């Protein structure tokens, strides 16, 4: 479910977007090029796998 939503979110995000929050997982990811690339990648999206991009 997150794959489609994250791709849409990445497209709608601007430089004013500070971060992306996954409420069920309590994961906060900064708006960065790496996060946008991960959002556009194929396959299932697990927010916990992206936590390394928050550093």
> What digits encode the pLDDT tens for the residues 15-31?
899 999 989 889 999 99
pTM of the shown model: 0.76
Structure tokens at 53: 């991009």
How many CB atoms within 10 Å of residue 10?
Answer: 17
The alpha helices in 1-55, defined as continuous H runs, are 2-12, 33-40
* pLDDT above 90 (res 37): no
Distance CA 25, CA 23 (A): 5
Task: Look over the chain and give the mean of its residue pLDDT values, rounded to a whole number.
Answer: 86
Spatial distance between the Cα atoms of 51 and 3, rounded to a whole number of angstroms = 16
């Amino acid at each position: 479910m997150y794959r489609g939503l994250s791709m849409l979110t990445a497209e709608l995000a601007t430089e004013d977007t500070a971060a992306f929050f996954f409420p069920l997982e309590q994961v906060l990811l900064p708006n960065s090029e790496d996060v946008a690339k991960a959002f556009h990648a194929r396959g299932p999206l697990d927010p916990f796998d992206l936590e390394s991009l928050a550093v």
